[in-house]
Amino acid sequence: MLRKYSYIDGKLVESSASDSILWLFTDPNADEKKSLIQDLQIDEHTLISALDPDESSRIEFEPNHLAVIFKYPKNYSAADQFLFRIASIGLFLFANRLIVVIPEDVPVVGGRNFAGACSPRALMLKLMYRLIYRYLEHLKVINMISDEIEKKISISMENRYLLNLFSLEKSLVYYLNAIGTNGFTIEKLKNATAKVGFIQSETELLDDIAIENNQCYKQAEIYSNILAGLMDARVSIVSNNLAILVKNLNYITIGIMVPTFVVSAFSMNVAIPLQKYVWAFWVVLGLAAASVVGVTVWWKRSKF
């Protein structure tokens, strides 16, 4: 699907004009891919890379445009089971427009952050900045989910929550790799500012993007180290909870067995004491109750 955007009164709004500054292709179909390759002369391999989630971030200089493959966090789905995935986006910078190719509908365009970006170069940089901010948003969500799972682990005896934490840890590894490759791409852009044609304000924005990406990487690294470092402790908590449950079940089993033994002893089909007395039933019942009290007191005072 193709959507075009133009600047009207300093705001980036959707437009149908042929000279729109931004063309956004979301999950392009076969005809749109053919148009991108034949009409806009975008390299077919680069276009495929823009839609490949396993492709690394990079830049390529073509005769009539600059191609940038950038990594961004995909939309989360409940079917992913707490696994946050990474996707690729293609930014194709031409002299008069920016072509964006993205495999899914993600809100990467719009808002006040895009105000004032009157050139395709500035628009590309602001879009990259928005994608980095998207990482920060996802990291906050991952941290919140991690805190909630940790609360459940403290009383849980199931592996389900541990598997959820493993998925979050795996997600952070993906994020670290993607943010790191994005950082290399940003550094390459900084080294090619003259070749790309960045003006001073755009160069300063590129420096801000590099700083923001580095801070994002540090934050993801901290979260990843915390999850990895405390994973053994969380496994021990689940094992300890299970051991406590088994211990309590043993106490209950002993508590049931002792009065059962007392009653069984007086139920044997042989001569036993008290069998000639009418109040023998109450004596046996009292002994069973006393055994329950004795086991309970022993349980409370035991140190193991």
What is the pLDDT at residue 260? 77
| DSSP secondary structure letter of residue 20 | -
What stretches of the chain show up as alpha helix (H) in DSSP?
A: 30-38, 44-50, 120-153, 160-191, 193-196, 200-265, 280-301
pLDDT at residue 131 greater than cutoff 60: yes
* CA proximity to 84, closest of 185, 204, 197, 164: 164
105-130: burial string, b at 16+ Cβ within 10 Å, e else = ebebbeeeebeebebbbbbbbbbbbb
Instruction: Over range 240-249, report the average pLDDT.
Output: 71
Confidence of residue 283 (pLDDT cuts 50, 70, 90): confident
CA of residue 234 relative to chain centroid, distance:
19
Estimate to the nearest angstrom the gap between the alpha carbon of 148 and the chain centroid: 13
> Domains of the chain (ranges plus CATH)?
2-240 (3.30.460.20), 241-301 (no CATH)
Per-residue model confidence (pLDDT) at position 241: 66
Six token digits for residue 277 = 């007395």
- For residue 292, name the pLDDT band (cuts at 50, 70, 90): confident
The whole-number pLDDT of residue 234 equals: 65
Of 48-57, 84-93, 142-151, 252-261, which range is least confident?
Answer: 252-261
**pLDDT of the residue at 68:** 93
Q: Model pTM?
A: 0.76
pLDDT value of residue 275? 66
At residue 214, does pLDDT exceed 60? yes
**Least reliable range by pLDDT among 24-38, 100-114, 205-219, 257-271:** 257-271
From CA 296, how far away is CA 299, in angstroms rounded?
5
- Per the DSSP assignment, residues forming a β-bridge with 68 are 59, 91
pLDDT at 231: 65
Band the pLDDT of 270: cuts 50, 70, 90.
Answer: low
Q: Which of 182, 164, 205, 193 is nearest to 82 (CA)?
A: 164
Residue at 50: amino acid letter: A
**pLDDT given at position 120:** 87
Taking 70 as the threshold, does the pLDDT of residue 233 lie above it?
no
pLDDT tens sequence across 87-121: 999 999 998 889 999 998 888 876 667 766 678 88
Distance between CA atoms of residues 49 and 60, nearest Å: 12
Helix axis angle for 160-191 and 120-153, nearest 10°, is 160
Mean pLDDT within 13-41: 86
